[in-house]
A and B are shown apart, each in its own frame.
Chain A
Amino acid sequence: MKCVIQHMSAGRMRVHVGTSFMTPEQACILEKYLLGIRGIRSARVSERTGNVVILWNEDSEVILHALSVFHYEDHEAEAADLSGRKLTRDFEEKVFWHCTKRVFKKLFLPAAVRNAVTVMNAVPYVWKGLKTLVKGRIEVPVLDGTTIGVSVFTGDFSTASSIMFLLGLSEILEDYTHRKSVDDLARSMALNIDKVWILSASGEQILVNVSDVHEGDIMLVHSSNTIPLDGIVESGEMTVNQSSMTGESVPSPKEPGSPVYAGTVVEEGECRIRVTSTAGSGRYDRIVKMIEESEKMKSETEAKAIHLADKLVPYSFAGTIITYLLTRNTARALAVLMVDYSCALKLSIPISVLSAMRECARHRISVKGGQFLENIAEAETVVFDKTGTLTYSRPKVAMVVPFGKNDENEMLRLAACLEEHYPHSMANAVVAEAENRGLMHAERHTKVEYIVAHGIASTIDGKKAVIGSWHFVFEDEGVKIPAREKKKFEQIPDKYSHLYLAVGGKLAAVICIEDPIRPEAPAVIAALKERGVHSTVMMTGDSSRTAASVASLTGVDHWQAEVLPEDKAAFVKKEHESGKKVIMLGDGINDSPALSEADCGIAVSDGAAIAREIADVTISEDNLNALIVLKDISDRLDQRIHRNYRFIMTFNTALIVSGAAGILPAASAAWLHNLSTLAVSLHSMTDLLGENC
């Protein structure tokens, strides 16, 4: 595509794309395309100017090339992205027309007509105030209705219209922020699965792309799978976690005839499901509805501020009456009436929280509610899972040590056959290595049983096959090491994580997996400590050896090894009892009890679907630094809310005092009050972190 560089500086370029008109759809396509290119940190396309602003890291040549080979026809826009862009366009147009109408009114309409229009506009506000009053609640609508009504009544049409203008603008602002936040959140929670097991016509199980599935196909799901499409259960029994649909964290049991929904996660059991709908957009709409209905969006501070705002309204009225009694001056009394804390609080604090959530989304962190940002700011303890969190979630098989007369590759093939159904990161490593070595297999085993944090058991050719940790294979299952090979066993290097495979009660192979820690982990832990996290804890189901070395490398304060999932949750509970707030980071199924117990459960995106369902925050960056970004945003949000609160209180009190003392005319007081409210709200929408993060 023909592009012209408008401006270039280190790490930032602005390019005009194409020669003619750009539609919103095209802008979405371009943005998505650019964000997928390595070396591009961020790309923002404005369809109005036809320009894209790209922030880049490595090499501008790559980017220039990417732009030159780009064509709109080659790519497709994502529906959800488009809805977000349309929301912003609507918002901008609404603001424009709102301001234009006012300018038009003031400049062009003759006075009589203008006043008539003002009176007409005032009616809804007054009416709403009356209705709230009739219900017995003296709240913000009553205040607004009174100020506007009184202004109109005393003939001060200009004040009335300016109040309504600013109130209208604030409403547009709040509505937009709320909708955009819901849209961003829903988009990040939307479905990302691409493959599913289907029962073919001949009764075989085959793995297909989700997009190739038809209505009426039978799909197979078992524990920890995410259900990719809506359907009805044909056979089998299972419990499903539907928290992303309904908000309930208690698993819901399913049996033949029960409906299941796309995006929910199977906790236990397995089923065959007949697909009823292949469309994907239903889930997005459902998430939006769920978010709107849940109370989780509001944080405690927000709720308290709003409650306070409502309680202050009667005092505003009281203040007005007292001023009138003391000064016998209607104008000054009115000035007190026009300045209230309530609408400023009610507007700016939710906007701050929602904007912070959206900023997190821009850093590819998905936060499911304002309450969690508040908890992160207050948290003093952070608990880490080891595998997949402090270490990469893609460990690699270092070597396979066969025992008995078994062949190395055969054992690897067998292990992959068992491990491929479960999304533990060790399992992924085994499956990946088998694929690398070109070892394909048919499904030779019978029903596979997954024992959380221990391993997998199944039957192959009549013999019991198990694969898993030391504790599971040797202690629980009582597997024996072939006598002559004890030395071989002891010589297996300690620095690897070991996965033991046994067939028929005898050790068949030991798979050595190396699990390197993420290079940024020590720096992240140090940064957390700088930010007031007094205790960093690592808890893992892995052996003490590996845990000890990882702990010393990363610098965590405490660590525990060979921990069962219930123990993780129990630890979190203990911290709660001593009054501390706890953040938990994990990625696997065995982290889910602890994740739901924690004040803020964070899931790393490469991990198990169920961890992501239950978690309150999902980090999508393949990098732990997102944790620091999250903590910074939470801390600064906390500071911003308190600063807003202080500003609103002091500024408005000053206005009230000036108005009551007669220094400031009522109209100016109203104007300054509404303007400051708008200013605080607009400021609350700005980023908490700088652009260079």
Chain B
Amino acid sequence: MNWTKTRFLAYGFLLGSAGLKVLTSKDAKKVYTKITAAGMRCADETLRVVDELRENAGDIAADARQINEDRKREETEKVIEDAA
């Protein structure tokens, strides 16, 4: 007996009769809604993390620029001291 083919036949039969009804029932719809809501929350959270990453990158850039400016200032001050 070809079990594979029989298996698929059985699955199809189940799907066609009871399965489809379950999948489109009101309870199933509630599950889908919850999953979609969770998906949207996930999207919002991801986008929030992206924004936060961007802000943190801005922080780092600002601090780095500050460090460089301080160094430059120290260098010029040193030069003035030597000349004075």
Is there a chain A Cβ closer than 8 Å to B19's Cβ? no
Instruction: With both chains docked as a complex, state the minimum distance between the C-beta of A689 and any C-beta of chain B, in angstroms.
Output: 16
Is there a chain B Cβ closer than 8 Å to A154's Cβ? no
Give A360-395 as 1s and 0s: 1 = Cβ < 8 Å from B's Cβ atoms: 000000000000000000000000000000000000
Interface size on A, residues (CB 8 A): 16
In the bound complex, do residue B46 and residue A46 qualify as a contact, i.e. CB atoms below 8 Å apart? no
Find the A residue at minimum CB distance from B45: A48
Instruction: With both chains docked as a complex, state the minimum distance between the C-beta of A55 and any C-beta of chain B, in angstroms.
Output: 9
In the bound complex, do residue B55 and residue A97 qualify as a contact, i.e. CB atoms below 8 Å apart? no
Instruction: With both chains docked as a complex, state the minimum distance between the C-beta of A36 and any C-beta of chain B, in angstroms.
Output: 23
- Known A-B contacts A48-B44, A96-B43, A96-B47; the reply to A7 vs B59 at CB < 8 A is yes
Give B41-66 as 1s and 0s: 1 = Cβ < 8 Å from A's Cβ atoms: 00110111011100100110011001
List chain B residues, Cβ under 8 A from A7: 59, 62
- Known A-B contacts A51-B55, A53-B58; the reply to A10 vs B66 at CB < 8 A is yes
Find the B residue at minimum CB distance from A13: B62
Alpha-carbon separation in the docked complex, A92 to B69 (Å): 35
In the bound complex, do residue B51 and residue A49 qualify as a contact, i.e. CB atoms below 8 Å apart? yes
Alpha-carbon separation in the docked complex, A97 to B46 (Å): 11
List chain B residues, Cβ under 8 A from A14: 55, 58-59
In the bound complex, do residue A46 and residue B51 qualify as a contact, i.e. CB atoms below 8 Å apart? yes
Alpha-carbon separation in the docked complex, A100 to B62 (Å): 32
Alpha-carbon separation in the docked complex, A225 to B48 (Å): 47
Partner of A93, one of B43, B51, B62: B43
Is there a chain B Cβ closer than 8 Å to A9's Cβ? yes
Alpha-carbon separation in the docked complex, A51 to B55 (Å): 9
Alpha-carbon separation in the docked complex, A289 to B83 (Å): 66
Partner of B47, one of A9, A10, A51, A92: A92
Alpha-carbon separation in the docked complex, A53 to B43 (Å): 23
Partner of B51, one of A6, A9, A48, A96: A48
Alpha-carbon separation in the docked complex, A100 to B43 (Å): 9
- Give A1-41 interface residues, CB cut-off 8 Å to B: 6-7, 9-10, 12, 14
List chain B residues, Cβ under 8 A from A51: 52, 55
In the bound complex, do residue B55 and residue A96 qualify as a contact, i.e. CB atoms below 8 Å apart? no
Instruction: With both chains docked as a complex, state the minimum distance between the C-beta of A320 and any C-beta of chain B, in angstroms.
Output: 40
- Give B12-51 interface residues, CB cut-off 8 Å to A: 43-44, 46-48, 50-51
Alpha-carbon separation in the docked complex, A92 to B46 (Å): 11
List chain B residues, Cβ under 8 A from A93: 43, 47
List chain A residues, Cβ under 8 A from B46: 96
Alpha-carbon separation in the docked complex, A302 to B48 (Å): 36
Alpha-carbon separation in the docked complex, A102 to B62 (Å): 35
Interface size on B, residues (CB 8 A): 15
Alpha-carbon separation in the docked complex, A14 to B58 (Å): 9
Alpha-carbon separation in the docked complex, A93 to B51 (Å): 13
Partner of A49, one of B43, B48, B62, B69: B48
Alpha-carbon separation in the docked complex, A401 to B75 (Å): 60
Instruction: With both chains docked as a complex, state the minimum distance between the C-beta of A327 and any C-beta of chain B, in angstroms.
Output: 44
List chain A residues, Cβ under 8 A from B47: 48, 92-93, 96
- Known A-B contacts A14-B58, A92-B47, A96-B46; the reply to A49 vs B52 at CB < 8 A is yes
Instruction: With both chains docked as a complex, state the minimum distance between the C-beta of A98 and any C-beta of chain B, in angstroms.
Output: 11
Alpha-carbon separation in the docked complex, A653 to B58 (Å): 37
Alpha-carbon separation in the docked complex, A6 to B62 (Å): 13
In the bound complex, do residue B55 and residue A9 qualify as a contact, i.e. CB atoms below 8 Å apart? no
Alpha-carbon separation in the docked complex, A14 to B57 (Å): 12
Alpha-carbon separation in the docked complex, A53 to B51 (Å): 12
Alpha-carbon separation in the docked complex, A53 to B48 (Å): 15
Partner of A46, one of B44, B55, B59, B63: B55
In the bound complex, do residue B52 and residue A9 qualify as a contact, i.e. CB atoms below 8 Å apart? no
List chain A residues, Cβ under 8 A from B50: 92
In the bound complex, do residue A12 and residue B52 qualify as a contact, i.e. CB atoms below 8 Å apart? no
Instruction: With both chains docked as a complex, state the minimum distance between the C-beta of B36 and any C-beta of chain A, in angstroms.
Output: 12
List chain A residues, Cβ under 8 A from B63: 9
List chain A residues, Cβ under 8 A from B44: 48
Alpha-carbon separation in the docked complex, A46 to B52 (Å): 9
In the bound complex, do residue B62 and residue A97 qualify as a contact, i.e. CB atoms below 8 Å apart? no
List chain B residues, Cβ under 8 A from A97: 43
Instruction: With both chains docked as a complex, state the minimum distance between the C-beta of B64 and any C-beta of chain A, in angstroms.
Output: 10
List chain A residues, Cβ under 8 A from B62: 7, 9-10, 12
Alpha-carbon separation in the docked complex, A93 to B58 (Å): 22
List chain B residues, Cβ under 8 A from A96: 43, 46-47
Partner of B48, one of A6, A9, A12, A48: A48
Instruction: With both chains docked as a complex, state the minimum distance between the C-beta of A637 and any C-beta of chain B, in angstroms.
Output: 24
Alpha-carbon separation in the docked complex, A92 to B43 (Å): 10
- Residue from B44, B51, B62, B69 whose CB has the most chain A CB atoms within 10 Å: B62
Find the A residue at minimum CB distance from B66: A9
List chain B residues, Cβ under 8 A from A6: 55, 59
Instruction: With both chains docked as a complex, state the minimum distance between the C-beta of B49 and any C-beta of chain A, in angstroms.
Output: 9
Instruction: With both chains docked as a complex, state the minimum distance between the C-beta of B2 and any C-beta of chain A, in angstroms.
Output: 20
In the bound complex, do residue A49 and residue B66 qualify as a contact, i.e. CB atoms below 8 Å apart? no
List chain B residues, Cβ under 8 A from A92: 47, 50
In the bound complex, do residue A53 and residue B66 qualify as a contact, i.e. CB atoms below 8 Å apart? no
List chain B residues, Cβ under 8 A from A10: 62, 66, 69
Find the A residue at minimum CB distance from B69: A10
- Residue from B44, B46, B47, B66 whose CB has the most chain A CB atoms within 10 Å: B47
Give A531-553 as 1s and 0s: 1 = Cβ < 8 Å from B's Cβ atoms: 00000000000000000000000
List chain A residues, Cβ under 8 A from B69: 10
Can you offer 23 A-B residue contacts whose CB atoms are under 8 A? A6-B59, A7-B59, A9-B62, A9-B66, A10-B62, A12-B58, A14-B55, A14-B58, A14-B59, A46-B51, A48-B47, A48-B51, A49-B48, A49-B51, A49-B52, A53-B55, A53-B58, A92-B47, A92-B50, A93-B47, A96-B43, A96-B46, A97-B43
- Additional A-B contacts beyond A12-B58, A51-B52 (17; CB < 8 A): A9-B59, A9-B62, A9-B66, A10-B62, A14-B55, A14-B58, A14-B59, A46-B55, A48-B48, A49-B48, A49-B51, A51-B55, A53-B58, A92-B47, A93-B43, A96-B43, A96-B47
Which residues from chain B sit less than 8 Å from chain A, CB to CB? 43-44, 46-48, 50-52, 55, 58-59, 62-63, 66, 69
Which residues from chain A sit less than 8 Å from chain B, CB to CB? 6-7, 9-10, 12, 14, 46, 48-49, 51, 53, 92-93, 96-97, 100
**4 closest residue pairs by CB, A with B:** A48-B48, A7-B59, A9-B62, A12-B62
